Structure 1
Amino acid sequence: MNAFTSYVSEQLKAYVYLLIDPRDGEVFYVGKGNGSRVFDHALDALGDEEAASDKLDRIREIHAAGQEVEHQLLRFGLTDRTAFEVEAAAIQLLGMDELTNKVQGHHVWLRGRMTTDVAISILAAPQVPEIKERVILFRIPRLWSPEMSAEELYEATQGWWTLGPRRNGADYAFAVNRGVIREVYRIDSWRQRQRGDRDWEHDIGKSRKRWGFSGEVADELTHYRNTSVRHLFKQGESSPFKYVNC
């Protein structure tokens, strides 16, 4: 079978499906579909041998072994919106490393898998306790999510900023996104942005250079994570950083 009848499609509505490798029983793809979408991947793999992807290569390997892809429906009778949510949850549960999906699905950045502490911080972050250390709060330009790796968060925080000598008075850097502290770093040293650094060409011809710090996660200050510093920024304040106690 490579298509549903119109009657079956109408009854299924939107659905979430799984592609399974019959050789080992592993789910290798999760998708959201309408109509006969669930069957299209195998047809694409066989119909266009020039098309390349991990998913299509896996399907070709299955057919080369004399077997057929197993198709399963995880949920059906859904609205499109609900189907996208189920698809995203299934992808996160199974893990991108185990699947041939290229993307994680809808809304994982805002409503995806996370700890209960992070969920509270997104919906109602408690106000940060009094900051007694010498700190710079950096409002990172990238949208933070629980899916952001430690390396990505550090890169977004450590540079590059238009700072003056006052930076030398800070001992710590806090990564802030949407008013909430997401990580705390100990500042070991500062340096100007140089050729080869991210967006270094933007400094050409400018008198004010941008700075970045080298450091590491400050485990002694983890009590600041997932707390709100919104009250420390005046309404309408647009500066991407703020000095505290320095």
Structure 2
Amino acid sequence: MEDEHTALKVEAAIIDLIGRDKLTNRVRGWQSGVFGRVEVNQLISHYEREQVNIDEPAILIRLNRLFRYDMNDIELYDATRGVWRIGEDREKVEYAFAIFDGIVHEIYKVIAWFKAGSTFNTRGPLEDEPTRWEFVGQTAEESIRSKYIGKSVEHYLPRSVQNPIKYVNIKED
């Protein structure tokens, strides 16, 4: 192998290919949630990068540190919904977009916002932080999901921007 980084990627891919349940490994391999097995539609989205413009009032939430390709629906929802340091414009959004690597992976219809740590989540108890918020919602309707999932929104969230949150189509008061 050229270097340790390449060797670790190959190890993660092989563990995914063989199946962790057939091995004695306690973990799947280095960053295997990012570099391991990926669904074909996710792979196509990653390389095709079809850009889409968002029409609805939305909040884009970049999940770079929290995202894994093998996340189940509940894990992705909990990672997307909170806890975020955001302002009052949160009340103006209709949809929250789960973004990884500039690609839309899921969309949620926001029902209500709550102080961080005040609603149940699968990540366990969260510290009560007065400046952080989380939303409760549901998977968006299919007409919205089919319009955006798998498409690129990296023009809204350039890699050079540190903030993981971006409001889109929010009307000024």
TM-score range, shorter chain: 0.7 to 0.9
TM-score normalised over the length of structure 1: 0.55
Q: SS at the partner of 1:146?
A: coil
Instruction: Note if contact 1:92-1:112 (Cα within 8 Å) is conserved in structure 2.
Output: yes
Alpha-carbon distance between aligned partners in 1 of 2:9 and 2:169, rounded to the nearest angstrom: 46
Q: SS at the partner of 1:239?
A: coil
1:116 aligned to 2:37? no
1:184 aligned to 2:107? yes
The residue that corresponds to 1:172 in the other structure is 95
Q: Structure 1: give runs of 5+ residues left out of the alignment.
A: 1-79
1:149 aligned to 2:96? no
Q: Deviation string for 1:40-92 (max 9, x for gaps)? A: xxxxxxxxxxxxxxxxxxxxxxxxxxxxxxxxxxxxxxxx967973x544532
Alpha-carbon distance between aligned partners in 2 of 1:83 and 1:218, rounded to the nearest angstrom: 37
Q: Are residues 228 and 83 of structure 1, via their aligned partners in 2, closer, same or farther at CA, if it must alter by over 3 Å?
A: closer
Alpha-carbon distance between aligned partners in 2 of 1:157 and 1:83, rounded to the nearest angstrom: 28
Alpha-carbon distance between aligned partners in 1 of 2:48 and 2:33, rounded to the nearest angstrom: 17
1:140 aligned to 2:63? yes
1:242 to 156, 159, 166: 166
The residue that corresponds to 1:96 in the other structure is 20
The residue that corresponds to 1:209 in the other structure is 131
Which protein shows a greater Rg?
A: 1
Name the aligned partner's letter for residue 200 of structure 1: E
Alpha-carbon distance between aligned partners in 2 of 1:92 and 1:234, rounded to the nearest angstrom: 31
Name the aligned partner's letter for residue 101 of structure 1: N
Instruction: Note if contact 1:143-1:177 (Cα within 8 Å) is conserved in structure 2.
Output: no
1:200 aligned to 2:127? yes
The CA deviation at 1:107 is 5.2
**Bigger shift: residues 225-234 or 105-114:** 105-114
**Pairs aligned (count):** 162
Q: SS at the partner of 2:28?
A: coil
Alpha-carbon distance between aligned partners in 2 of 1:177 and 1:198, rounded to the nearest angstrom: 24
Instruction: Note if contact 1:141-1:156 (Cα within 8 Å) is conserved in structure 2.
Output: no
The CA deviation at 1:230 is 1.2
Alpha-carbon distance between aligned partners in 1 of 2:57 and 2:33, rounded to the nearest angstrom: 31
Alpha-carbon distance between aligned partners in 2 of 1:83 and 1:163, rounded to the nearest angstrom: 36
Greater RCO, 1 or 2 (C-alpha within 8 Å, sep 6+): 2
The residue that corresponds to 2:29 in the other structure is 105
The CA deviation at 1:122 is 2.5
Report the aligned-residue RMSD: 3.0
Q: Are residues 163 and 121 of structure 1, via their aligned partners in 2, closer, same or farther at CA, if it must alter by over 3 Å?
A: same
The residue that corresponds to 1:63 in the other structure is none
Q: Are residues 187 and 90 of structure 1, via their aligned partners in 2, closer, same or farther at CA, if it must alter by over 3 Å?
A: same
